[in-house]
Amino acid sequence: MTPPTATGTTAAGLVAPYDVEAVRADFPVLSRTVNGHPLVYLDNASSTHKPVQVLDAERRFLEQHYANVHRGVHTLSQEATDRYETARERIARFIGAQHDEVVFTKNGTEAYNLVAYAMSNAATSGPEAERFRLGPGDEVVVTEMEHHSNLVPWQMLCQRTGATLKWFSLTDEGRLDLSTIDEVITERTRLVAFVHTSNILGTTNPVDVITARARQVGALTLLDAAQSVPHTPVDVRALGVDLLVATGHKLLGPTGIGLLWGRRELLAAMPPFLGGGSMIETVSMAGSTYAPPPERFEAGTPVISQAIGLAAACDYLDAVGLERVSAWEMALTARALDGLRSVEGVRIIGPDTTEMRGSAVSFVLDGVHPHDVGQSLDELGIAVRVGHHCAAPVCRRYAVPATTRASFYLYNTAAEVDALVEGLGRVKAFWGA
Amino acid sequence: MSVQTESLYQEIILDHYRNPHHRGLRDDFDVEVHHVNPTCGDEVTLRVKLDGDRVTDVSYDGQGCSISQASASVMTDLVIGRGVEDAMGRAEAFRELMQSRGAVEPDEDVLEDGVAFAGVAKYPARVKCALLGWMAWKDATSQALAAAGRAAPDAPVADDSLEEHPA
């Protein structure tokens, strides 16, 4: 593990604010080869690798303390419950939240659906659920840069309830067009669901501007923070949103765990989504009452060992320091933007500076389809993502069938950025572009 | 690029990609279909013209990677001018080759330039690309036959290769 004060130097004079090589040593996969070349893993916006500290924590828990939680009186059950709830506290602290405001889901997608179905269920719940009710004449606002997971559930919710879906469109520079904010968010708006940092464009949105307008009209706000929580310090209270979603596998944690954060009083009033064990207070044949949050939203056996792993990932990131991670990623992103601009025929899709930006960089290469770019880069050991990145409306907006996307994380190096840029030169030569 | 890429990107594939055969939509047709590959956004619009049991024209337009575009080009060479039953048989042979993960030796008499796609079968992520044009053609041809009051010569083969994966 890296002492927070360590300084690492990588290729070409860029100096990292921590020892990147020591970090890399914690990720065994980074020393393997792919197609005869050292792996250059630039698909972190899709999913990140896990350090041995995370794998060890999960394994140790499964080997020594595992049992189902919240059920038994035996020692293992107590230990497992204690560790599960301690993990919840740890993860909550990572985003500046209280432990009982964090609900575990199987992934980010389930968290959006949880809220969407809770809002449907509000129609037949008591008066405390009034804030979540939707019907004809009401509006839900999203943006044109949403990941499908923060778009399709709202389309479906509007279909079920008769509410209307509206959205912010995008500027040519890859930013939200907020010039019409007062027409998009109106007195009829009940919910504004929007992304913090786009997985395809890299754009970071001005949360304060949107939440301020939403508050004016009394609308709820939900933030997709899947691409921001792993990369930069996020404090849910400072953001001023009502609900926030993130996912474990994009922040060095296991797959199979996502999280929904909500303000305590809001979660307390929100109807459940999935029914079953653990989420109840009393059950009779005629009906049931529900447990308080977060248990109300965690029906069935929860994601136990994944929570243990994710808590270890939070420990890891805090030990390196998210401020430092963010600074290093921005240095790599700046280098990537410069390098990509130097390749003739490359067009960056999204902001071309590091201002208000994450570290996902999408681009197209004239005359070579992204699938062919990605396949050819893979032959050089370089892993990038190609396709529409679950954000098809963005591709349509910028009139491209798909993009190639490189996305960086704390273990990437300047040499890897250079390998991408050089690799693109070889791709161009092969395809005669 | 390395040797491995060259086994995927055969010269025949690159030739069809750079100089596609029968490309462009023509006005004389019976049925038009639009197929997409949901994982990557590749799409093809394809028109079929039948004369009785003979495929007289297949025209298409679309956007996609080298594999999907070259495969559509090869497909038109293989089906235009042939009887529907013969063409459907070749479509089935191509599908079988693509889903073989490299275990099937392609028959050049049946698939002609299509044998160049044998290497694609070893890249599961690209199989859907290679099948896009073929599936569009089968769909359009079945619809044209149905409109003419005839059933397709083969019962449609259950196709599990184009299912949507989480993107």
Q: Which residue has the higher pLDDT, A90 or B167?
A: A90
- Report the residue of chain B nearest A428, measured CA to CA: B1
What proportion of chain A, given as a percentage, has pLDDT over 90?
95
pLDDT at res. A147: 98
Query: How, if at all, do strands A360-365 and A403-407 pair?
Result: antiparallel
- For residues B134-160, give the mean pLDDT: 79
Q: Under an 8 A CB cutoff, do A388 and B42 touch?
A: no
- Calpha distance B6→B41 (Å, rounded): 25
Q: Return phi, psi of residue A16, to 5°.
A: -85, 150
- Calpha distance A313→A310 (Å, rounded): 5
- 0.95 exceeded by the pTM? no
pLDDT at res. B41: 76
- For residues A152-159, give the mean pLDDT: 98
Q: Which domains does chain B have, with CATH numbers?
A: 3-147 (3.90.1010.10)
- Calpha distance A139→A156 (Å, rounded): 13
Domain ranges of chain A: 8-50+321-431, 65-317
Lowest mean pLDDT among A157-161, A399-403, B129-133, B160-164: B160-164
- For residues A42-48, give the mean pLDDT: 98
pLDDT at res. B40: 73
Report yes or no: B151 and B42 within 8 Å, Cβ to Cβ.
Answer: no
| Amino acid in position A144 | E
Total Cβ atoms within 10 A of residue A124: 9
Contacts of A384 in chain B (CB under 8 A): none
- For residues B32-50, give the mean pLDDT: 91
Checking if the pLDDT of B151 tops 90, the result is: no
Checking if the pLDDT of A235 tops 90, the result is: yes
Q: What is the DSSP letter of A368?
A: B
Checking if the pLDDT of A10 tops 60, the result is: no
Checking if the pLDDT of A166 tops 60, the result is: yes
Q: What is the Cβ-side half-sphere exposure of residue B120, based on CA atoms within 13 angstroms?
A: 31
Q: What is the DSSP letter of B24?
A: B
User: At B1, is the pLDDT very low, low, confident or very high (cuts 50, 70, 90)?
Assistant: low
Residues 6+ apart with CB under 8 A from A421: A336, A339, A340, A342, A343
- For residues A280-303, give the mean pLDDT: 96
- Calpha distance A194→A310 (Å, rounded): 24
- Calpha distance A279→A270 (Å, rounded): 13
- Calpha distance A343→B2 (Å, rounded): 21
Report yes or no: A182 and A175 within 8 Å, Cβ to Cβ.
Answer: no
pLDDT digits (tens, 9 = 90+) for B83-113: 999 999 999 999 999 999 888 889 999 999 9
Q: Under an 8 A CB cutoff, do A369 and B65 touch?
A: yes
Checking if the pLDDT of A18 tops 50, the result is: yes
Closest listed residue to residue B101, CA positions, set B78, B132, B125, B135: B125
Residue B86 parent element (H or E):
helix B84-98
Using a 10 angstrom Cβ sphere, with 0-12 exposed, 13-18 middle and 19 or more buried, the burial of residue A237 is exposed
Q: Under an 8 A CB cutoff, do A390 and B65 touch?
A: no
- For residues A284-292, give the mean pLDDT: 96
- Calpha distance B82→B85 (Å, rounded): 8
Q: Is there a catalytic annotation at residue A390?
A: yes
The CATH number of domain A65-317 is 3.40.640.10: yes
Interface test with B, best of A375, A385, A400, A430 (most B CBs within 10 A): A375
User: At B6, is the pLDDT very low, low, confident or very high (cuts 50, 70, 90)?
Assistant: low
- Report the residue of chain B nearest A403, measured CA to CA: B40
Mean of per-residue pLDDT scores for chain A:
95
Checking if the pLDDT of B3 tops 80, the result is: no
Closest listed residue to residue A326, CA positions, set A4, A6, A16: A16
pLDDT digits (tens, 9 = 90+) for A305-330: 999 999 999 999 999 999 999 999 99
pLDDT at res. A4: 38
User: At B164, is the pLDDT very low, low, confident or very high (cuts 50, 70, 90)?
Assistant: very low
Report yes or no: B99 and B75 within 8 Å, Cβ to Cβ.
Answer: no
Cα→Cα distances B41→A400, B37, B64, B148, B152, Å: 9, 5, 8, 32, 29
- For residues A138-149, give the mean pLDDT: 98
Contacts of A379 in chain B (CB under 8 A): 1-2, 4-5
Quote ipTM for the complex.
0.80
Q: Under an 8 A CB cutoff, do A379 and B63 touch?
A: no
Closest listed residue to residue A253, CA positions, set A301, A312, A199: A312
pLDDT digits (tens, 9 = 90+) for B22-37: 999 999 999 999 999 8
A8-50+321-431, superfamily in CATH? Aspartate Aminotransferase, domain 1 (3.90.1150.10)
Checking if the pLDDT of B154 tops 70, the result is: no
Cα→Cα distances A160→A108, A146, A153, A225, A289, Å: 21, 20, 10, 26, 25
Checking if the pLDDT of B48 tops 90, the result is: yes
Rg for chain A, CA atoms, rounded: 22
pLDDT digits (tens, 9 = 90+) for B107-140: 999 999 999 999 999 888 899 999 999 999 999 9
The DSSP secondary structure of A334-360, one letter per residue, reads HHHHHHHHTSTTEEEES-SSSTTB-SE
pLDDT at res. B166: 39
Contacts of B9 in chain A (CB under 8 A): 372, 430
- Calpha distance A152→A164 (Å, rounded): 13
- For residues B48-60, give the mean pLDDT: 96
- For residues A197-211, give the mean pLDDT: 98
Report yes or no: A373 and A420 within 8 Å, Cβ to Cβ.
Answer: no
Structure tokens at B41: 């956004």
Q: Under an 8 A CB cutoff, do A371 and B63 touch?
A: no
- For residues A232-260, give the mean pLDDT: 98
Structure tokens at A100: 């009982």
